[in-house]
Structure 1
Amino acid sequence: MKSLPKLIRRYVSIMLLSCVLLLVLNVVLLAVFTARQAPNAYPWKTAEEVADALHQTNDGGYALPDAVSLELKDSNAWAILIDNETKQVKWQTANLPDTIPLSYTLSDIASLTRGYIDGYPTFTGEMEDGLIVLGYPQNSFWKHMWPSWDYELIANLPKTILSVFAINAALVFLIYVVANSKLLKSIKPIVNGIQSLPTGESVYIKEKGLLSELAMNINKTSEILQSQNNQLHRKETARANWIAGVSHDIRTPLSMVMGYAGQLKDDTHLTDDERQKAAIIVKQSERMRNLINDLNLASKLEYNMQPLMEKQENAVAIVRQVVVDFINTDIDNKFPIEWKTDENISACFINADKDLIKRAVSNLIQNCISHNENGCSIFVSVRADGQNCIICVEDNGKGASDEQIEKLNNTPHYMVCDTNTTEQRHGLGLLIVKQVAASHNGTATIEHSSHGGFAVKITLPLLQEN
């Protein structure tokens, strides 16, 4: 169940990414908020600027530069200068509220430095002969009047912040797991069911939870697939039984036809024309018998009904024996066979059913003969290539087009029809070759011959030495 951990990792990654993005967003918003408050965030600095800019005039009074006065006006702030000696206000701005006293004690000064005068937040700046007090509109600033903190709290502040962050992250993860536990429990049987569908197994998932509708659809899909598989199995069984039955029923009357036709072919009382017709009947009957045998064998191989008698065999010896048998029957030398196997290779051992391998090689040589009525040379070779044994049968006949070869390599049917429907073309014999190779964990590949004709390569695994 590789997909469930992957899904969980995806959800966790999304959650962590969300937390990081949320943290970044909060930091950005805090920065924006702080930037917006920056113009009003330096009243102490402004108070120092007023203290530095305030100067005494020739007539003994005090005056502020126009720029500083404009800054105070824009902030709607007022200012007073308290004399160090008398504690009396000896200078004030024109917008001083009426409720602001003009005489102060030391305790009043200590109080206004930390806090307010009549609800106005105040900030101070030092001069040589007095104290500048800057007052802002009520509710414009909040002042912390007892700013004292435990030293260990400040020293451990980074560790405290990280701890709080970790606790918050753990809490978010816990909430996520609890909130999605039912969903994760529902996903596991769904994933298992989907993975089991391609194997053909019957699947049933309890139709409950958040994904009950999806579970119901998977159950219906499994039922449909099971029904289709059962119908297909019945059809395949019926077809195999029909082929076996027809093959059995045809053999007896076909044997009688071949027997009587053989007698007529050899009867000297008949004319040459009549005996020639009888010979054609025998030849076509033999062809029909071979076709029936091929059809029956192909059906058995397709449905794994052909028992394999596998044992250690020498592929070189098997193929050489098939070649010798064909050479002995080619009296007219119309289809000469060249043995192209390297003389240094005397053995190429495979685990195989000898009769089936001979049948496959015989089909390939017969295929060369059947499709080159004007004769051709046939080339047969056996070689070892890495961990495989390669059996190759090719000719220099008329060959096949690229389209035909593509069709032969990919058509799973018994027969391949073409424009000539009066005879069997490439198809059934080559299908048996493919099935024999597949039953031995090998492959059969159809291609163009290096000699200009048709070629088939059977690749079988070599027998591994202990």
Structure 2
Amino acid sequence: MKSVPKLIRRFVGIMLLSSLLLIILNFALLGIYTLNQTPNSSPWITAQEVADHLSKNENKYVLTETTALELQNTNVWAILIDNATMKVVWQTDNLPETVPMAYTAPDIASLTRGYIDGYPTFTGEAENGLVVLGYPKDSFWKHMWPSWDYNFIANLPKTVLSVLAINISLIFIIYVIANSKLLKSVKPIVSGIQALSTNEEIHIREEGLLSELAVNINKTSDILQAQSRQLRKRETARANWIAGVSHDIRTPLSMVMGYAGQLESDVQLSENNRQKAAVIVRQSKRMRDLINDLNLASKLEYNMQPISPERQNLIAVVRQVVVDFINMNIDEKYTIEWETDEELTSCTANVDKDLIKRAVSNLIQNSMNHNEQGCNIFIRVVAEDNVCTIVVADDGVGATDEQIEKLNNTPHYMVCDEKTTEQRHGLGLLIVKQIIFVHSGKMLIKHSEYGGFEVDLSLPMSV
């Protein structure tokens, strides 16, 4: 069940990433908003500029035209408090009537950090006094007592990180609680889907947020089980039918072969009739072999053939097949060459010896059957990367690329020659493939290096 933890990790990752991005976005928006709220970023600097540009000319104070225009445009009033008399000795034309014209030391301290009649005030040092700027009442908020505990400022980073950690933990807890029901519903759904791939019969409780999906999975399981039962019945019937037909044909076929053999050896018959009897015997033997092949292929396909794997030296097994063929006095137009490296004395694998011998025999016979003009057959065993490979190749007519593609990728090998009604490659190769399959091996058909046909049988080596 690796998928559910993976799904949970994905949910948590998305949640944490979303929280982080949300925090960053909030800080960015706060910064942008703060900057936009202070177009005149430093009224203290403006107040000092007014003080610097205010000059006394013949007992009269004069402000430069540019600075006066700036104050007018921002609706800011200004006064100059004399150091000696503590009275207002200069003012702008827009000074409100409620602004006092005389001040005491406490008044100066109050307006420096706060307001005059609700107007936020900012001061600048002039040559003979103190310049005070008054901004509109709703333009600035001033902190009246700007003093902070030192420990609070020193521990502020830790405090901010702690608050963020608490917030993230709270969001995570809320997220897990809110999705716990969903996660509980997901786990059986995932288990059910995994079980469907193995054709197991399943039934998921049809409740929770994903109840509709559970219903559909249960229906799918029921359909697959019904199809599996029907398929098993059909396969069993097919296997039984093949076995029954094979058994029923053997008796009359034996009689045909027996009588035909007698006719073939009867010297009283003409040579022409004896040749006809020989053809009947030869074709009857072929029919018998085809029936045996069909029966074996059916048993291998439905795992009805008993397998007795033992640790065998494949070199010895394959060499025995070659010796048996040579001792059969095969036609002189066929030669079998043993090409296994003499230094390779052992290549062991856990196999059923009789089935492997049958597979190699089928390949040798296949080369003979499809090269009537004769050919050389080359056989070798190769050991490489913990794999034993049996190679059977010839220098005969071979096969086209299209035929080899079909032989490697179709399950039945019923590829027919264009000039004959006989199968060019039939049950022989199918049986070979099935034998290698039950041994957890691989079969590869290709062009041989000698210009003909080649089949490679790869089997895992035993330790």
TM-score normalised by the chain length of structure 2: 0.95
Q: Which stretch of structure 1 is more off in the superposition, 386-395 or 93-102?
A: 386-395
Query: CA shift at 1:40, angstroms?
Result: 3.0
Equivalent residues in 2 for 1:1-400 (5 A)?
1-57=1-57, 59-330=58-329, 332-400=331-399
Query: CA shift at 1:364, angstroms?
Result: 0.9
* Paired letter, 1:2: K
Cα offsets for 1:307-347 (capped at 9, x unmatched): 12232333233322322232233354121222223344444
* Paired letter, 2:12: V
Q: Is the 8 A contact 1:437 1:443 kept in 2?
A: yes
* Paired letter, 1:13: G
* Paired letter, 1:25: L
Cα offsets for 1:168-220 (capped at 9, x unmatched): 11111111111111111111111121222211111222122222222222222
Q: Is the 8 A contact 1:408 1:427 kept in 2?
A: no
Tell me the SS of whatever aligns to 1:142. coil
Distance 1:338 1:74, change over 3 A: same
- Structure 1 spans left out of the alignment, 5+ residues: none
- Distance of 1:151 and 1:446 partners within structure 2: 85
Query: CA shift at 1:79, angstroms?
Result: 0.9
Distance 1:421 1:2, change over 3 A: farther
Match of 2:435 in 1: 436
Q: Is the 8 A contact 1:414 1:431 kept in 2?
A: yes
Distance 1:447 1:64, change over 3 A: same
Q: Is the 8 A contact 1:115 1:145 kept in 2?
A: yes
* Paired letter, 1:438: F
Distance 1:34 1:158, change over 3 A: same
Distance 1:124 1:351, change over 3 A: closer
Give the alignment's Cα RMSD to 1 decimal.
1.9
Q: Which stretch of structure 1 is more off in the superposition, 325-334 or 282-291?
A: 325-334
- Distance of 2:110 and 2:461 partners within structure 1: 102
* Paired letter, 1:20: L
Cα offsets for 1:275-333 (capped at 9, x unmatched): 11111111111000000000000111111111122323332333223222322333541
Q: Which stretch of structure 1 is more off in the superposition, 346-355 or 265-274?
A: 346-355
Q: Which stretch of structure 1 is more off in the superposition, 303-312 or 360-369?
A: 303-312
Q: Is the 8 A contact 1:81 1:89 kept in 2?
A: yes
- Distance of 2:104 and 2:349 partners within structure 1: 116
- Distance of 1:106 and 1:318 partners within structure 2: 118
Q: Is the 8 A contact 2:416 2:422 kept in 1?
A: no
Q: Is the 8 A contact 1:193 1:205 kept in 2?
A: yes
Equivalent residues in 2 for 1:405-420 (5 A)?
405-413=404-412, 415-420=414-419
Distance 1:282 1:38, change over 3 A: same
Distance 1:273 1:45, change over 3 A: same
Tell me the SS of whatever aligns to 1:393. strand
Q: Is the 8 A contact 1:340 1:379 kept in 2?
A: yes
* Paired letter, 1:123: F
- Distance of 1:331 and 1:232 partners within structure 2: 44
- Distance of 2:105 and 2:335 partners within structure 1: 131
* Paired letter, 1:9: R
* Paired letter, 1:15: M
Query: CA shift at 1:145, angstroms?
Result: 2.0
Tell me the SS of whatever aligns to 1:355. helix
Distance 1:323 1:156, change over 3 A: closer
* Paired letter, 2:95: L
Query: CA shift at 1:429, angstroms?
Result: 0.2
How many residues are matched? 463
Match of 2:458 in 1: 459
Distance 1:349 1:178, change over 3 A: closer
Q: Which stretch of structure 1 is more off in the superposition, 350-359 or 415-424?
A: 415-424
Query: CA shift at 1:87, angstroms?
Result: 2.2
- Distance of 1:113 and 1:345 partners within structure 2: 103
Q: Is the 8 A contact 2:253 2:288 kept in 1?
A: yes
- Distance of 2:420 and 2:207 partners within structure 1: 59
- Distance of 1:219 and 1:436 partners within structure 2: 37
Match of 1:423 in 2: 422
Distance 1:363 1:122, change over 3 A: same
Distance 1:298 1:331, change over 3 A: closer
- Distance of 2:193 and 2:230 partners within structure 1: 22
Q: Which stretch of structure 1 is more off in the superposition, 288-297 or 34-43?
A: 34-43
Q: Is the 8 A contact 2:407 2:413 kept in 1?
A: no
TM-score normalised by the chain length of structure 1: 0.94
Cα offsets for 1:365-421 (capped at 9, x unmatched): 111111111111222223333422222222111111111111111211263345356
- Distance of 1:34 and 1:413 partners within structure 2: 78
Query: CA shift at 1:251, angstroms?
Result: 0.5
Distance 1:149 1:250, change over 3 A: same
- Distance of 1:329 and 1:115 partners within structure 2: 121
Q: Which stretch of structure 1 is more off in the superposition, 207-216 or 409-418?
A: 409-418
- Distance of 2:384 and 2:107 partners within structure 1: 106
Q: Is the 8 A contact 2:413 2:429 kept in 1?
A: no
Query: CA shift at 1:222, angstroms?
Result: 1.7
Q: Is the 8 A contact 1:205 1:215 kept in 2?
A: yes
- Distance of 2:136 and 2:434 partners within structure 1: 98
* Paired letter, 1:106: A
Q: Which stretch of structure 1 is more off in the superposition, 295-304 or 38-47?
A: 38-47
Distance 1:26 1:260, change over 3 A: same
